[in-house]
Amino acid sequence: MNLEDIEDSSFTQQLENAVIKTLENQQKTEKRNSFPNELCIFPLLKRPFFPGMAAPIVIEPGPFFETLKLVAKTDHKSIGLILTRQEDVDIYKASFGDLYQVGVIARLLRIIPLEQGGAQVILNMERRLRVLRPLSNSKVLKAKVSYFEDSPTLTSELKAYAISIISTIKELLKLNPLFKEELQIFLSHSDFTEPGKLADFAVALTTASREELQEVLETFDIQKRIDRALLLLKKELDLSVLQNNINQKIESTISKSQKDFFLREQLKTIKKELGIRKR
């Protein structure tokens, strides 16, 4: 999809039609990936990831990097990523008691070694997971896990929420061009027309707190998730509007000050040319 004309009215209409069409065809069978029942778990400190995202993370030299090299040799090439309950936890000492129970399974797409050791890893977040039972609580956590796949039932309310999210994203794009880049990345890796993924993408755009984001991640019911996503997106829009107003006010003040300074300098020059001196 070409994003150059993202603000055209046709863009919103195309997305609305795509959402409705996809929701009406939810009965289509999809090829399911096979995921392992046991995963090595890597703690996250800042924000949770959502299915459908692709993102880089840096793994420093140490136990996680050594585990990563072993995972890269497996058939599934996947790890679990779960947010810590507190942001100041030492990830090298974290136990399952320090983590939430719900996270995502991430498949390794690429490992880029770093000169100072460790690596930057490009990951594709594939599905929600829940920890069923810890298997190892040592330096690297390992757990038996289960997975959740979205399977929404078409409702008029779901369609209305999806279209409202698209409309709000369009408003955000007008205020913050950075969201356009995020949207471009999302469209290259995900199906924008799936309501569950649409909700996940919407909250990932926001500056919501880590706890608010985790709450959405733990919301398996699509209707409730898209409702919470829209609420957070509306809050983000309100914040962007406020920031935009503040910026305009500051720019206006600076512009007025610059204009006053320019006029004073002009007046000084005129007085000098006319031979007017301050006595």
Alpha carbon dihedral 250, 255, 257, 261, in 10-degree steps, equals 160
Q: Looking at the predicted structure, is the pLDDT value of residue 32 above 70?
A: no
| pLDDT number for residue 107 | 94
Instruction: Tell me what the pLDDT averaged over the chain comes to.
Output: 80
To the nearest whole percent, how much of the chain has pLDDT over 70?
75
Number of compact structural domains in the chain: 2
Does 171 lie in the same domain as 71? no
Supply the Cα-derived Rg of the chain in whole angstroms: 25
| Buried-exposed string 125-135: b where 16+ CB fall within 10 A, e elsewhere | bbbbbbbeeeb
SS3 46: coil
Does 89 lie in the same domain as 50? yes
* Nearest-angstrom CA–CA distance, 38 and 79: 9
* Nearest-angstrom CA–CA distance, 108 and 77: 6
Does 116 lie in the same domain as 177? no
Does 138 lie in the same domain as 85? yes
Boundary residue ending a domain (116, 147, 178): 147
Residue 48 lies in a domain: yes
Does 98 lie in the same domain as 129? yes
Residue 98 lies in a domain: yes
* Nearest-angstrom CA–CA distance, 105 and 193: 22
Instruction: For residue 70, give the CATH number of its domain.
Output: 2.30.130.40
Identify residue 126 by its one-letter amino acid code.
E
Does 213 lie in the same domain as 158? yes
Does 86 lie in the same domain as 44? yes
How long a stretch of residues is the chain? 279
Boundary residue ending a domain (94, 115, 147): 147
Does 156 lie in the same domain as 140? no
For 207-242, how does the pLDDT look when each residue is reduced to its tens digit (9 = 90+)?
899 999 999 999 999 889 999 999 999 998 888 888
**Residue in 107, 105, 95, 109 with CA at minimum distance from that of residue 139:** 95
Domain that holds residue 228: 151-239
CB atoms within 10 A of CB 72: 13
Highest mean pLDDT among 70-84, 230-244, 258-272: 70-84
Q: In degrees rounded to 5, what are phi and psi of residue 8?
A: -70, 150
Boundary residue ending a domain (147, 168, 193): 147
**pTM, to two decimals:** 0.74
Residue 279 lies in a domain: no
Residue 9 lies in a domain: no
* Nearest-angstrom CA–CA distance, 71 and 112: 15
Does 132 lie in the same domain as 167? no
Beta pairing partners, 123? 55, 108
| pLDDT number for residue 116 | 87
Highest mean pLDDT among 151-155, 238-242, 244-248: 238-242
Does 157 lie in the same domain as 74? no
Average the pLDDT over 63-67 and give the result. Answer: 90
Residue 142 lies in a domain: yes
Beta pairing partners, 142? 40, 136
To the nearest whole percent, how much of the chain has pLDDT over 90?
37
Instruction: For residue 207, give the CATH number of its domain.
Output: 1.20.58
Average the pLDDT over 66-70 and give the result. Answer: 90
**Residue in 180, 188, 98, 199 with CA at minimum distance from that of residue 141:** 98
Residue 69 lies in a domain: yes
Name the strand (E) or helix (H) holding 154: none
Residue 155 lies in a domain: yes
Residue 33 lies in a domain: no
Does 192 lie in the same domain as 108? no
| pLDDT number for residue 205 | 84
Does 171 lie in the same domain as 211? yes
